[in-house]
Amino acid sequence: MHASLRPQTIQIFLPHGDPSGIRMAEITTRTVRVFDVPRSLLSGFLSMPEAAQVGLYFLFGSDAEDSTSCYIGQSGNVGSRLKQHVAGKEFWDRAIVAVSLTNTWTDTHVGYMEWESISRAAKSGRYPLMNGNAASNRYTPAPLEADCNEYLETISVLIATLGYPALEPIHKATAESPSSMAVDRLYFQQAGCQAQADPTSEGLIVLSGSYGNASARPSAIQSIVRSRQSLIDRGIIQIRGSKFALTQDHLFASPSQAAAVLVGGSMNGREAWKNAAGMSINEIEASTVDQVQAPTRLLDNTD
């Protein structure tokens, strides 16, 4: 089992009582604290003592096409660095900041974690990275490197829990998954389209080599057109004649989003994606639910 899939207790604290404001997250047995800071509330974070600590941070922002980008950095005084980014970087609207509860991180710790985070984020491919140059992998003693990787395991889980799984690999479903549907490979066959996908708890991973229509339908809504263009710009899709071909596996948030991007127009993906037996996602889910045995009700024997 992947380390981040272990059962864990996460505590989220709202320092100002606002669920959409600054949030603090911790795994109760670890020494890492993560802050989720809206850009508009940065001053609130800067007033906290943790803002003056050595830290690792992630900046997230969405463009007009709703594509979220990420920038990863580190600093000996993370609050001061974020203040610089208010003037120097316009794209971001949220900062995720990781610090040590024991305030024992050094520049060497966060230098290694920055380098490793950029590497992991690039490998996961969930967000376009805004880092112009990859961080250098400075010399890190083996014991310190082991500590940093443990810290990163915690950071990865916490920022994913807060809604930004930048460091998390995409987990394809296996036979050990809670849902029996999870092991069904799905297929999509429409005019000009042929694709395969694996379901996950996050959506559908459409597999490399799948293809759709190179041209969007005249009736396609702009969000579909923009999504297709974004995938082309990122190199995930290539136009090959009349085909719109995936060059790598890609996670789509829903079956309908995946279907719409492939055909170039709106489509009910829950009916269009089918398993090898020809069952749609709706039919697979209905069958899976029907097979679940309800727990036996505990009888109250008290009078």
What residue segments make up the domains of the chain, in order of their start? 3-161, 180-291
Closest among 46, 158, 29, 52 to 103, alpha carbons compared: 52
CA-to-CA distance for 203 and 197, rounded, in angstroms? 10
Q: Is the pLDDT of residue 181 over 50?
A: no
Q: What percent of the chain has pLDDT over 70?
A: 88
Contact indicator for 206, 246 with CB cutoff of 8 Å: yes
* 57 Cβ neighbours under 8 A, 6+ residues apart: 72, 73, 74, 75, 78, 81, 82, 95, 96, 97, 98
Enter the tokens of residue 98. 């990781």
CA-to-CA distance for 158 and 165, rounded, in angstroms? 9
Q: What percent of the chain has pLDDT over 90?
A: 70
Look at residue 254 in the predicted model and tell me its pLDDT: 92
Residues constituting the chain: 303
Q: Is the pLDDT of residue 90 over 50?
A: yes
pLDDT tens digits for range 122-166: 988 888 899 876 667 778 899 999 999 999 999 999 999 999 999
Look at residue 165 in the predicted model and tell me its pLDDT: 94
pLDDT tens digits for range 16-52: 999 999 999 999 999 999 999 999 999 999 999 999 9
The pTM assigned to this predicted structure is 0.78
Look at residue 1 in the predicted model and tell me its pLDDT: 40
pLDDT bracket for residue 173 (50, 70, 90)? low
Look at residue 179 in the predicted model and tell me its pLDDT: 46
